[in-house]
Structure 1
Amino acid sequence: MLNLLLHTPTSRRFYRVEVSDNLFGEYTVLREWGLQGQTGASCLRWFSNLREAVHAAERFRRRAQRRGYALSAADAGGTQS
């Protein structure tokens, strides 16, 4: 549904936030982070409505940007699938 990819300009670190719906009518926010080319860490949270899920994803994006991550050029506006 919505996929944001952030990276650090000076290193190979990435941070990804993805919002999607599941088969049970809930929405999930998946966060992944780590070094490019390696298996990173991930965290999955469930929300009962889309508004809460997007709000949480936006909070995670802002926090990552405060820590030095920037939106990747390929996903500057987010991608929808």
Structure 2
Amino acid sequence: MLNLILHTPNTRRFYRVEISDNLFGEYTVLREWGQHGRAGRQCLRWFSNLRDAVSVAETARRHAQMRGYRLSEAGAAKGRP
């Protein structure tokens, strides 16, 4: 499982991208965004291969960073924002 946590400096907003596999050999990309301490919005997509899942997750990360989000080292290490 790959879990990236991004945040905006000086605000309480986060963006999370997670890739995981399931028992059926499929991969899912979960994107979650919102404010810390509140219920965030989520988008979940399924893929039949890891290459497509990684490509979509990388695109989501790149777009979030273009909007001002930065990788949170502490959150990524702990697996949460």
- TM-score, with length taken from structure 2: 0.90
Q: How does 1:13-52 map to 2 (within 5 A)?
A: 13-52=13-52
Corresponding residue SS for 2:45: strand
| Counterpart in the other structure of 2:55 | 55
Structure 2 letter corresponding to 1:52:
D
Cα distance in structure 2, aligned partners of 1:24 and 1:33 = 27
Alpha-carbon separation, structure 1, partners of 2:48 and 2:56: 12
Aligned residue identity for 1:26? E
TM score, norm. by length of structure 1:
0.90
Q: In 1, distance between residues paired with 2:51 and 2:72?
A: 24
1:6-49 Cα deviation digits (max 9, x unpaired): 00002000000000001111000000000001101000000110
- Equivalents in 1 of 2:62, 2:31: separation in Å? 13
Which consecutive aligned stretches of 4+ in structure 1 deviate over 4 angstroms post-superposition?
Answer: none
Structure 2 alignment gaps of length 5 or more: none
Query: Counterpart of 1:5?
Result: 5
Superposed CA RMSD in Å reads 1.2
Q: 1:72 maps to what in 2? A: 72
